[in-house]
A and B are shown apart, each in its own frame.
Chain A
Amino acid sequence: MRELTYPFDGELILKKSKKLKRALLESRTDFLEKRIAVLGGSTTHDIIRILELFLLEQGIRPVFYESEYAQYWQDAMFDNPLLSDFAPELIFIHTSNRNIANYPMPGDTKGQVDELFTEQYEHFRVMWDKLADTYHCPVIQNNFEYPFYRLLGNQEAVYVQGRISFINRLNEAFYQYAREHESFFIHDINYLSASYGLDRWSDPLYWHMYKYACCMQAIPDFAHNLSNIIKSIFGKNKKALALDLDNTLWSGIVGDDGPENLEIGQETPMGQVYAEFQNYLKAQKDIGVMLTVNSKNEEENALAGLNHPEGILKPEDFILIKANWEPKSHNIAQIAQELAILPDSLVFVDDNPAEREIVEMQIPGAAVPAVGTPEQYIRILDHSGFFEVTKLSEDDRKRNEMYRANIERKKQQAQFGDYQEYLRSLEMRGTIRPFEPLYTARIAQLSNKSNQFNLTTRRYTQGEIENFAADDAYITRYGKLVDRFGDNGVVSVVIGRRDENQSILHIELWLMSCRVLKRDMEYAMMDSVVEACQACGIETIMGYYYPTAKNAMVKDFYGTMGFEKTEETDTGVTIWRFTVPADYALKNTVITVEK
């Protein structure tokens, strides 16, 4: 909803939070429930109250565990039945510079400062290790904001005895820990407080009156920034930008003014603003964001504008270019369909509020930021956090290539009369194997973001995935697919649990990325699961379909795989049985599978 879309009115959110919460809860039913533990070093009440709103807005319905006031360390370090029973799926540690127990003094020696540093850092490190060992879930940790006064003035960061120097060292050590631990994330309140204004942020009234580490009015910015990390971890990032052209990517109207009269490039101040914006967008590709065009234009004019010699973005930077006279909401739906992503994973950027309004009304869930004036575009898109990075995986960097290859494949497909012949022409090579450490991050990521081709929509953390891999009671398979247009990476996951009597396998998770729909990868996965069953004497495979708002495409999946339906409930849950035949014939004939 608009009230929660950046740039938002924080004070309005604080004041009307109860009303907003009611409206959010009524707005949809398909929330992803997540148990989040908030371990605070200061008051957390209103942070939780507002964080809940931003998570609901992202489709996540949080259940919170809140530590008693300032008990973060005790809660983490000692046996804590309340927290273990709660079984957090994510832990947020809300500490601030108020929680630094001992700062260096101006008279301290370098050695004494080093000792203080080690002591302070270890206080946190042992806690993080302990949490990882105990709860196996992602941990988000605040870094430290700067203090609101400087005893050593401008040299506070220079002298090792200065608080800023000390905080910088601690922060760097926190970042190093994050680099070395996959499920550990920094919430950058140092940046946030600077961006908000440090003096306002650290108004001492809120600490001394209420033990808040930041002022009340900063809490919406805080909660929004934090919610971006959480939704990213749980696979709710946006995937693609749909960009208008005229007065969005350049100043002027290419159809009326002609490409030579557009303002883009170093010649004018406005041209520079647009060049900087195009640079920013081009860099989005490197973090896996897909760029598309959604413009009311003749295609020829759109291309002429994008080929402007001073422009940074070129036609080949876009996966799809929709330049036509259709309503923009229609184009958004088309783009989503052609990329095989959900419309709500798109961000629509347009300078024209009327166009934004149409998309906002017609495409529920798509992000439609009010981008303001050209010099504000970057800040508004950036601070919105649509594409918050929590894993910079090889897959992300390659995503643009992969989707482009997909579109090439579709073109190719048109030239073949016979679909099987087309599939063979792709020269597909698959790797299907039990879970391996190298891929557990990607497997967890897939389990959290696959909605459409997903039979049970169970979400797992990386820790849980690692446990399945190590447990003999489970048969696990991941599938990678390469073809002559490119590497699709890990695209399918199956987790089966063996019954106690060992002769039945229950499929707890079967999912596949939509980027490889209709490539027979599901058959190859089935073959591999059957083979695993045969190897250990399992005779029956039970499949389960749990309907959600998004997974209707696999309603009859088990039927097409040769399962028999044994049960169907009123709520649409279906249960399927497959008896493993001795003479099972391989279903996949087009992918060469490496085991």
Chain B
Amino acid sequence: MSREEVFVKLNEVFRDVFDDEEITVTDATTADDIEEWDSLEHINLLAAVEQEFGIKFNMGQVVSMKNVGEMADIIISQLG
């Protein structure tokens, strides 16, 4: 899956989870950019991303992930 394809899917997940059709995420997007993205929603977001790509983040990855770009990198590495 290309990075572009990963972002298309990620966008859908973000829109579903935050119930907002306007969201467009980029490499630099962080929790500060999306009003409803707080620590509680974060758990739900990660679960939805895992489900969408059929992957599982390990604890180290969850702890270190800084922005959507890094999230995409981890997804791509797991998809191999």
Contact residues in A for B19 (Cβ distance below 8 Å): 18-19, 22
**Which of A15, A22, A212 contacts B48 (CB under 8 A)?**
A15
- Choose one: B40, B47, B59; the contact of A45 (CB below 8 Å): B40
What's the Cα separation between A354 and B75 when bound, in Å?
A: 41
Q: Which of B13, B43, B58, B62 sits near A15, CB closer than 8 Å?
A: B13
The 7 closest A-B pairs by CB, nearest first: A18-B19, A11-B51, A15-B48, A216-B47, A45-B40, A15-B16, A210-B43
* Interchain CB contact under 8 A, A14 and B44: yes
| A212–B44 alpha-carbon span in the complex (Å) | 12
- Complex contact B59–A15 (CB within 8 A): no
With A45-B40, A216-B44 known as contacts, the answer to whether A209 contacts B16 (CB < 8 A) is no
Count A-B pairs with CB separation below 8 Å: 41
- Please report whether the interface of chain B is mostly helix, strand, loop or mixed according to DSSP: helix
- Report chain A residues within 8 Å CB of B16: 15-16, 19
- Cα A22 to Cα B19 in complex, Å, equals 10
- Chain B residues in 8 Å Cβ range of A358: none
Residues of B within 8 A of A11 (CB): 47-48, 51
- The chain A residue with its CB closest to the CB of B57 is A205
Within 8 A of A (CB), among B9-50: 13, 16-19, 40, 43-44, 47-48
Determine how close the nearest CB of chain A comes to the CB of B78; give it in whole angstroms. Answer: 15
In the complex, what distance in Å separates the CA atom of A361 from the CA atom of B53? 34
Q: Is A208 an interface residue (CB 8 A)?
A: yes
Query: Which A residues between 486 and 531 are near B, CB-CB below 8 angstroms?
Result: none
Task: State in angstroms the CA–CA spacing of A451 and B17 once bound together.
Answer: 37
Contact status B40-A209, CB under 8 Å: no
Contacting residues, chain A, for B18 (C-beta < 8 A)? 18
| Contact between chains at A205 and B43 (CB < 8 Å) | no
Do residues B59 and A209 form an inter-chain contact, with CB atoms below 8 A? yes
**A182 interface residue (CB < 8 Å to B):** no
Q: How far is the CB of B23 from chain A (nearest CB, A)?
A: 13
Task: Give A205-220 as 1s and 0s: 1 = Cβ < 8 Å from B's Cβ atoms.
Answer: 1001110100011000
CB distance from B25 to the nearest CB of A (A): 16
Distance (whole angstroms) from the CB of B60 to the closest CB of chain A: 10
User: Can you name the residue of chain B whose Cβ is closest to the Cβ of A17?
Assistant: B44
- The minimal Cβ–Cβ distance linking A117 to chain B, given in whole angstroms, is 33
How near does chain B come to A572, taking the closest CB pair, in angstroms?
36
- A22 nearest CB neighbor, chain B only: B19
The interface residues of chain A lying within 8 Å CB-to-CB of B40 are 45-46
The 8 Å CB contact of B51, one of A15, A19, A205, is A15
Cβ of A46 and Cβ of B43 under 8 Å apart?
yes
Identity of the chain B residue whose Cβ is nearest the Cβ of A212 in the assembled complex:
B43
**How would residues 2 to 32 of chain A score, 1 for a CB under 8 Å from any chain B CB and 0 otherwise?**
0000000001001111110010000000000
Chain A residue with the shortest CB-CB distance to B16: A15
**B59 engages A205 (CB within 8 Å):** yes
Q: Which residue of B lies closest to A12 (CB)?
A: B51
Partner of A208, one of B43, B51, B59: B59
Complex-state Cα separation, A209 to B16, whole angstroms: 23
Taking CB atoms, residues of chain A closer than 8 Å to B51 are 11, 14-15, 217
Question: In the complex, A95 Cα to B58 Cα: how many Å?
Answer: 25
Query: What's the Cα separation between A19 and B17 when bound, in Å?
Result: 9
Q: What are 18 inter-chain pairs, A to B, with CB distance below 8 A?
A: A11-B47, A11-B51, A14-B44, A14-B47, A15-B13, A15-B17, A15-B47, A15-B51, A46-B44, A205-B59, A205-B62, A209-B59, A209-B62, A209-B63, A210-B43, A216-B43, A216-B47, A217-B47
CA–CA, A556 to B24, complex, Å?
Answer: 58
Residues of B within 8 A of A22 (CB): 19
Q: Return the chain B residue nearest A21 by Cβ.
A: B19
Beta-carbon nearest neighbor of A216 in chain B = B47
